[in-house]
């Protein structure tokens, strides 16, 4: 019995050590054939080096291609280091050919996310699977190269009680327009499954809070057009997970979305403390495409706002001549209602009942033809 007990302890301790390495990452896909839908796919992982600056332990990632197929992808060498020994960048590379056009969600999972993250489960984030997603539109006429996102600077350490800004600065090889939005980190319920079930087990981290929402202090935003992320100001020491979605647009059409996760560690570097601005909840921000040729294509109104009774009138003026989809999100990005309007109408209106939802801040999102528009709603 004792040898079995010792083996169990060894497995648990090695699992915990393994969980302490993943800081974040993203998936990049690049079409590499003019005659087939063949893509070179790279999963980039930001990891904490082992003691002495050695590369993190060797591993594989589970990669789902969005069409029901998946495979294990081993790490490619060499492992690159950034900012001395504070951050290692591991690459996992493969190629895949789709049998036909479509919209495909590439999903990568590993076990596990770095432990003790302040804004996930109040710091009790141990043994939580880590997941990434990039969605591509594969078609014969689209030569997709999803954005390249440079490695994060300065080991992701940011100063306590000082305003922090970071330019995401994604680069698109094809010259397409890019937009940026805050997102919620992803996880998988079945990261080590040997079947394709894990491909559909992806979900947002339910206990996640945006960094400024955790203590309801200051602001946390990203500029949708420039990718400038600003946290004004961190007031608590520790590690905080952040996630960003980079959307790629071509002639007003959404052709890819890349989900990137990072880990920011707040440290005390001294200096004169900055007083935080008034608290403003962060939210999953979504704007229309950065193509300015039809800036008023979608106009969304919600009234009354604030709403005391819970029933509001939603009206969308849609100049695209396409069906629309409406979603209701809370201030953590969770979707509470999803409404499809399949009729093609210039003006669409309906009553939305939120009487069963608690008071708070919500966001009404309308999507049509690859364009999206969001309005805040206060439920009193």
pLDDT tens sequence across 316-336:
888 767 778 888 877 666 678
Collapse the DSSP code of 156 into the 3-class scheme (helix H, G, I; strand E, B; otherwise coil) and give the result: helix
Q: Which CATH superfamily is domain 2-267 in?
A: Cadherins (2.60.40.60)
Residue 275: the pLDDT is 93
CA distance 338 to 44: 32
pLDDT-based confidence at residue 7 (cuts at 50, 70, 90): very low
2-267 and 298-379, same CATH topology = yes
Averaged over 192-199, what is the pLDDT? 66
pTM of this structure: 0.72
> pLDDT value at position 276?
93
CA distance to 23, 58, 107, 157, per residue, from 79 (Å): 15, 10, 22, 21
pLDDT > 90: percent of the chain: 28
pLDDT of amino acid 122 = 78
169-178, 229-238, 246-255, 362-371, range with greatest mean pLDDT = 229-238
Q: Check: CB of residue 326 under 8 Å from CB of residue 375.
A: no
CA distance 126 to 16: 8
For 102-118, give the secondary structure using H, E and C: EEEEEEEEECCECCCEC
What would the DSSP string read from start to end of 310-352?
SEEEEEEEE-S-S-EEEEEEETT--EEEEEEE-S--SEEEEEE
Is residue 132 within 8 Å of 27, Cβ to Cβ? yes
Specify the range with the lowest mean pLDDT, choosing from 99-103, 154-158, 283-287.
283-287
pLDDT tens-digit map of 103-151: 999 999 887 788 789 998 877 766 788 899 999 999 887 888 999 998 7
Residue extents of the structural domains in the chain: 2-267, 298-379
- Measured CA to CA, the distance from residue 188 to residue 177 in angstroms comes to 30
58-102 residue pLDDT tens: 678 899 999 989 999 998 876 776 555 567 888 999 999 999 999
Q: What value does the mean pLDDT of the chain take?
A: 80
Return the H-helix or E-strand segment holding 47: strand 37-47
Rounded (10°) CA dihedral 45, 50, 54, 60: -40
Q: What is the model's pLDDT at position 95?
A: 98
Question: Residue 51: is its pLDDT beyond 80?
Answer: no
Percent of the chain predicted with pLDDT > 70:
79
Q: Which CATH class is domain 298-379?
A: mainly beta
Residue 185 to residue 190: CA distance in whole angstroms: 16
Question: What pLDDT, on a 0 to 100 scale, did the predictor assign at position 160?
Answer: 96
Cα–Cα nearest to 24, from 43, 50, 51: 43
Q: Is pLDDT larger for residue 162 or for residue 7? A: 162
Hey, what are 252's tokens? 């007003």
| CA 274, 277, 279, 285 torsion-angle sign | negative
Tokens of 109: 């999972």
CA distance 234 to 273: 10
What pLDDT is stored for residue 308 in this prediction? 83
Q: Nearest-CA neighbor of 201 among 209, 190, 215, 185?
A: 190
How big is the chain, counted in residues? 380
Most confident of the ranges 15-19, 134-138, 186-190, 304-308: 134-138
């Amino acid at each position: 019995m004792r040898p079995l007990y010792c083996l169990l302890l060894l497995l648990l301790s090695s699992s915990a050590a393994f969980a302490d390495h993943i800081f974040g990452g993203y998936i990049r896909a690049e079409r590499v054939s003019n005659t087939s839908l063949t893509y070179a796919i790279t999963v980039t992982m930001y990891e904490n080096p082992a003691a002495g600056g050695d590369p993190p332990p060797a591993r594989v990632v589970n990669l789902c291609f969005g069409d029901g197929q998946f495979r294990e992808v081993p790490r490619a060498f060499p492992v690159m280091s950034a900012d001395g020994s504070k951050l290692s960048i591991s690459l996992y590379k493969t190629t895949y050919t789709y049998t036909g056009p479509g919209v495909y969600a590439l999903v990568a999972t590993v076990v596990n996310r770095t432990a003790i993250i302040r804004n996930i489960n109040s710091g009790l984030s141990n043994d939580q699977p880590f997941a990434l997603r990039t969605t591509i539109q594969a078609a014969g006429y689209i030569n997709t190269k999803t954005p390249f996102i440079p490695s994060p600077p300065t080991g992701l350490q940011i100063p306590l009680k000082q305003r922090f800004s970071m330019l995401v600065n994604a680069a698109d090889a094809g010259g397409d327009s890019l937009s940026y939005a805050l997102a919620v980190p992803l996880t998988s319920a079945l990261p080590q499954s040997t079947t394709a079930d894990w491909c559909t087990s992806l979900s947002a981290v339910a206990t996640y809070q945006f960094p400024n929402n955790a203590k309801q202090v200051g602001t946390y935003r990203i500029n949708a057009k420039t990718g400038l992320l600003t946290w004004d100001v961190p007031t608590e020491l520790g590690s905080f997970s952040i996630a960003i979605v980079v959307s790629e647009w071509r002639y007003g059409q959404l052709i890819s979305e890349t989900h990137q996760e990072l880990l920011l560690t707040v440290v005390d570097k001294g200096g004169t403390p900055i007083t935080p601005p008034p608290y403003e909840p962060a939210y999953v921000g979504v704007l229309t495409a950065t193509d300015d040729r039809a800036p008023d294509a979608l106009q969304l109104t919600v009234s009354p706002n604030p709403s005391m009774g819970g029933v509001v009138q939603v009206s969308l003026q849609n100049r695209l001549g396409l069906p629309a989809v409406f979603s209701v999100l809370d201030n953590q990005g969770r979707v509470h209602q999803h409404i499809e309007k399949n009729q093609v109408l210039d003006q669409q209106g309906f009553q939305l009942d939120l009487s069963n939802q608690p008071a708070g801040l919500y966001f009404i999102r309308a999507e049509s033809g690859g364009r999206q528009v969001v309005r805040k709603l206060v439920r009193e």
